[in-house]
Structure 1
């Protein structure tokens, strides 16, 4: 990786993001790279945040926003066709570097093919090798020339397997003050200062909302029944989720205590809340940075659960 583009040049940089959190990481990365390479062109797969930074997305990011064995298997033929087409397109474009942002099940396969063909590859966001299956580090090294890690303990794990990994820090750390101002957040969202507030975040994927939306809203209703005056705030991760949440809320009775549905503003909702109910994922780190107590839940597809249990992949 020593022959990086010189500052002042106009490199073509490919970024591959597979979900909402990756889109935010990609947007931050584009902004940082553009400060060094103002004339750089960014292409690949990304969402609205990356596109707002001038990114040229070749495919809709929703093509990769899948989670769970069952969901991936049901879309496998389409994903394989997309990957084959994407690899061919990247080989023809010959970018200075290809950065796969998270989404390891898709991106690592793409990166490996590109690396074998002579392109430089980087994987941004290490899979949880520190939690389980450390041996994956060696496999990741066969796909990526360098791994960019969000947590400080990760590079040492890769070093044991001869993989070049660098600690970058987590961009989310810059998005929260050391002490969150609950009063200011409530004022911004027009919430009463003296009422208990519950923030509900049922995920950023349609499949997550389909499985978690009902149970999470039911839990919120039960808490509201036991805690008079409770205000429930639900920030939508993206416009698609906003429409799904509106449809979900339309099925339940609306009164003065009806949830407040927000278009984005998840960080404000967390800072305004007394407690956060959320889907396991990046949002758990956000709630930690907001210094709010949280209840974390998740539900996978039944087929995914059965396969994972059969293969003894579950750790609880």
Structure 2
């Protein structure tokens, strides 16, 4: 390993900023002389990285992404010029494969001896498997957060290591912070989690409100809590036309998701990492993800290589079990079947017990792995090799 190695981290979403900061802190504890640079945001900066460029504004999706292509190309040109003058020993691209492929290619072109260590495996096992050839060329090690991923990548000659999942570190280390709205008297208690990206909220929120209204008709004392991921999502949810229909039974708050999971009798969640958070709290869950029908018919179904999409179900099937949670993915139909699935969890103790039993099996697949420790050790080993 070089003396005082220099590591560049690249994060293009707030979640990657948080994940990278956790890794930087763990690496600093092991080797204080490492110098860190980053394309990132405030969390990486607070962890001690020299920020080359701020890159974690609201993540781009769909048409918005197309508008940002030119900006990204210019950013990569600036990064290439920077690396020519300021070489690094390792690059850690964090999630966001569409943005990070160009970072990896720039590294290979300009710094062929630098190690490229992917933090969060691109989900090639779900869609776009042909990209595995590109990954094989543009990585030296993939750090996987899901237990089934290393086998998949290693079978395709991509070095991969399971390092646990950071959300379980957080659940185990940080007790939930309560919120006043969770102490209100209530009958049935429902959590709605519409996603952390603006496009996720835009695509899914109206369906979620229709499900909640349907349930409120049957359970007049239903209390709904929506823990928005940040202030931007809170504003987006409050301003959405469909939100007014929930004014009489819902509270919108920022954060406190862990406390909401513990409070809720059931949760309706847009597919993503939040489904694993619910699993970690043993919260009965239904998973949803709306897709435009024509997009799915002509594009989506040809790109995907799995018919299971939610993370708890993917892991459960890998373990040889059945599906853990009802999932409506892709969903482009009526809200009534979704409401029926949530109603079953609100009224059927046997369904809840069965889901929690499978939750335990899935949780055991992560073992007692400490993400920060395993990821830091894997990075240092990759740099030293």
Q: 1:313 aligns with which of 303, 316, 333?
A: 303
Q: 1:252 aligns with which of 244, 256, 265?
A: 244
Conserved? CA contact 2:92–2:118, under 8 Å? yes
Corresponding position of 2:87 = 94
Deviations 1:21-42 (A, max 9, x none): 3233212212211212335443
Is the aligned partner of 1:36 residue 2:27? no
Shift of 1:168: 1.0
Change over 3 Å in CA distance of 1:160–1:135 after alignment to 2: farther
Q: TM-score, normalised by structure 2?
A: 0.69
Query: What is the CA–CA distance in structure 2 between the aligned matches of 1:71 and 1:172, rounded to whole Å?
Result: 28
Conserved? CA contact 2:209–2:245, under 8 Å? no
Change over 3 Å in CA distance of 1:115–1:217 after alignment to 2: same
1:176 counterpart SS class: helix
Corresponding position of 2:40 = 46
Corresponding position of 2:212 = 220
- Return 231-240 or 215-224, whichever deviates more: 215-224
Is the aligned partner of 1:277 residue 2:271? no
Query: What is the CA–CA distance in structure 1 between the aligned matches of 2:246 and 2:284, rounded to whole Å?
Result: 27
Deviations 1:63-94 (A, max 9, x none): 6x1234x4433432222222332333344332
Corresponding position of 1:158 = 153
Conserved? CA contact 2:13–2:55, under 8 Å? no
- Return 216-225 or 198-207, whichever deviates more: 216-225
Shift of 1:307: 5.5
Shift of 1:56: 4.1
Conserved? CA contact 2:206–2:242, under 8 Å? no
Is the aligned partner of 1:174 residue 2:164? no
Is the aligned partner of 1:112 residue 2:112? no
Conserved? CA contact 1:176–1:289, under 8 Å? yes
Shift of 1:111: 0.8
Q: Which has the higher helix share?
A: 2
Conserved? CA contact 1:196–1:274, under 8 Å? yes
Shift of 1:286: 1.2
Change over 3 Å in CA distance of 1:230–1:99 after alignment to 2: same
Corresponding position of 2:74 = 81
Conserved? CA contact 1:238–1:264, under 8 Å? yes
Structure 1 vs Structure 2 CA RMSD: 3.1
Query: What is the CA–CA distance in structure 2 between the aligned matches of 1:173 and 1:34, rounded to whole Å?
Result: 21
Query: What is the CA–CA distance in structure 1 between the aligned matches of 2:105 and 2:28, rounded to whole Å?
Result: 26
Q: Which stretches in structure 2 are left out of the alignment for 5+ residues? A: 308-385
Change over 3 Å in CA distance of 1:48–1:298 after alignment to 2: farther
- Return 37-46 or 162-171, whichever deviates more: 37-46
Q: TM-score, normalised by structure 1?
A: 0.82
Deviations 1:144-190 (A, max 9, x none): 11111112332233333333222211111222259x99xx8767754
Query: What is the CA–CA distance in structure 2 between the aligned matches of 1:72 and 1:59, rounded to whole Å?
Result: 17
